[in-house]
């Protein structure tokens, strides 16, 4: 597949702070790429560099094979949608949409055509004569997307576009964005700190921390086989259970020993060599722990006590006390447990993750 946006060795310093550290990123044509990370990880900075709103200290940016490192934002073939919508308050929706085209001195007939088309795609025709102050949050964000749409750009850049909306609207617009991407098939780069948005929208997710990309993969891979401890802890809510321990030989196989309890690693597919005595962190997602009647024959069974139960409708989240650990376990919402009751549990080792404690890399 052709690459749409190509970032080579990109660095950006704000004074003495390295916000981006020789970052490489290759975004495919038509891809929906999400830059995910907590605040201060450099994801918005990277997006602003791609947009041309920030000058990189080093490195190059290519869009559609063209080196745009020194180009003005308008010449890059990008459109951008901002968190605060950034609609021009004194202009009507129509004027907002057409501002860029008018600046570019496009013929009025062509402007009208493009505005009409964008308004139709986003279903904002009845709003064209209104001012931004007369619109709801969701409508404003649609207009903001429309502003990128009319300019007929190659790449859409989204900077946390849904963060200012309430939960219900956010879910609605998320679906609309996905639909928009499916019909337009443009390259979209989307910055967010919301992992649900990332998992639901992305073709690929780039998880960022301290100006570096930690892992770049499709959502499934990121969720199921996180490359390091940071990615494992960042994705998933509630977070993955981490058990710090040591590798020991156990009946001819390896096991993780922690707080005097051994978890056999039978079924775990290691990508690297494992040595007894190695300090490790065992990671298990809450839905990969089987409780009571879910425990299968042949499972290694442990005992735990229910500490707290958090019913969440479809799911029921249990917090179990087990030999010095607190484990979160997701079970079907219909199954209820009284605090204090003893339960049997087993780990699904085939879906677990194991990390080296020192390097924090996946084993």
Partner 1 sequence: MADVLNSTAMIAIEDAPAGRKPRRAVSRRNVVVYGLLLLAAFYYILPLYVMIVTSLKGMPEIRLGNIFSPPVEITFEPWVKAWAQACTGLNCDGLSRGFWNSVLITVPSVLVSIVVASVNGYALANWRFKGSDAFFTILIVGAFIPYQVMLYPMVIILRTIGIYGTLTGLIVVHTVFGMPILTLLFRNYFTSLPEELFKAARVDGAGFWGIYFHIMLPMAIPIMVVAMILQVTGIWNDFLFGVVFTKPDYYPMTVQLNNIVNSVQGVKEYNVNMAATILTGAVPLAVYFLSGRYFVRGIAAGAVKG
By CB under 8 A, name the binding residues for partner 1: 48, 51-53, 72-74, 78-80, 82-90, 99-100, 103-104, 144, 147, 151, 159
Nearer to partner 1, 106 or 295 (CB): 106
CB of 73 to partner 1, least distance (A): 5
CB of 170 to partner 1, least distance (A): 18
Instruction: Give the long-range contacts of residues 306-311, CB within 8 A, separation 24 or more.
Output: 306/337, 306/338, 306/339, 306/340, 306/341, 306/342, 306/343, 307/339, 308/339, 309/336, 309/337, 309/338, 309/339, 311/336
Nearer to partner 1, 52 or 211 (CB): 52
CB of 76 to partner 1, least distance (A): 9
Alpha carbon of residue 48 to chain centroid: 18
Q: How many Å apart are CA 282 and CA 246, to the nearest integer?
A: 9
CB of 40 to partner 1, least distance (A): 17
CB of 150 to partner 1, least distance (A): 10
Nearer to partner 1, 96 or 258 (CB): 96
Instruction: Count other C-beta atoms under 10 Å from residue 360's C-beta.
Output: 15
Rounded (5°) CA angle 215-12-50: 70
CB of 103 to partner 1, least distance (A): 5
**116, 120, 51: which is closest to 86 by C-alpha?**
51
125: alpha, beta or left? (left if phi > 0; alpha if psi -120 to 50): alpha
CB of 147 to partner 1, least distance (A): 7
Nearer to partner 1, 82 or 319 (CB): 82
Residues 309-342 as b or e (16 or more Cβ within 10 Å = b): beeeeebbbbbbebeebebbbbbeeeeebeeeee
Nearer to partner 1, 151 or 204 (CB): 151
Q: Phi and psi dihedrals of 48, rounded to 5? A: -65, -30
Nearer to partner 1, 53 or 184 (CB): 53
Nearer to partner 1, 52 or 219 (CB): 52
Maximum distance among all Cα pairs of the chain, rounded to whole angstroms: 80
């Amino acid at each position: 597949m052709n690459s749409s946006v190509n970032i080579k060795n990109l660095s950006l310093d704000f004074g003495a702070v390295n916000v981006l550290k020789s970052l490489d990123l290759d975004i495919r044509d038509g891809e929906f790429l999400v830059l995910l990370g907590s605040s201060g990880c450099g994801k918005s900075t990277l997006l602003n560099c791609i947009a041309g709103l920030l000058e990189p200290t080093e490195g190059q940016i290519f869009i559609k094979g063209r080196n745009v490192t020194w180009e003005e934002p308008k010449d890059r073939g990008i459109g951008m949608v901002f968190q605060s919508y950034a609609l021009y308050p004194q202009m009507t929706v129509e004027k907002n949409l057409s501002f860029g085209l008018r600046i570019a001195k496009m013929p009025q007939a062509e402007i009208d055509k493009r505005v009409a088309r964008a308004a139709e795609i986003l279903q904002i025709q009845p709003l064209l004569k209104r001012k931004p102050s007369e619109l709801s949050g969701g409508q404003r964000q649609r207009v903001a997307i429309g502003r990128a749409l009319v300019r007929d750009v190659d790449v859409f850049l989204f900077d946390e576009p849904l963060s200012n909306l309430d939960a219900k609207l956010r879910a609605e617009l998320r679906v609309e964005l996905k639909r928009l991407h499916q019909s337009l098939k443009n390259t979209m780069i989307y910055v967010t700190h919301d992992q649900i948005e990332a998992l639901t929208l992305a073709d690929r997710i780039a998880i960022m921390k301290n100006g570096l990309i930690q892992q770049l993969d499709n959502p499934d891979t990121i969720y199921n086989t996180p490359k390091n401890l940071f990615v494992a802890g960042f994705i998933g809510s509630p977070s993955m259970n981490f058990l710090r321990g040591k590798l020991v030989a156990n009946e001819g196989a390896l096991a993780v020993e922690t707080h005097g309890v051994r978890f056999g690693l039978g079924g775990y597919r290691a990508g690297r060599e494992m040595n007894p005595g190695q300090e490790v962190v065992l990671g298990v997602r809450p839905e990969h722990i089987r409780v009571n009647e879910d425990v299968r024959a042949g499972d290694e069974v442990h005992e735990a006590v229910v500490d707290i139960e958090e019913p969440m409708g479809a799911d029921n989240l249990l917090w179990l006390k087990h030999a010095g650990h607190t484990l979160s376990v997701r079970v079907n919402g219909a199954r209820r447990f009284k605090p204090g009751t003893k339960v049997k549990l087993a780990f699904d080792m085939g879906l677990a993750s194991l990390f080296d404690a020192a390097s924090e890399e996946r084993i």
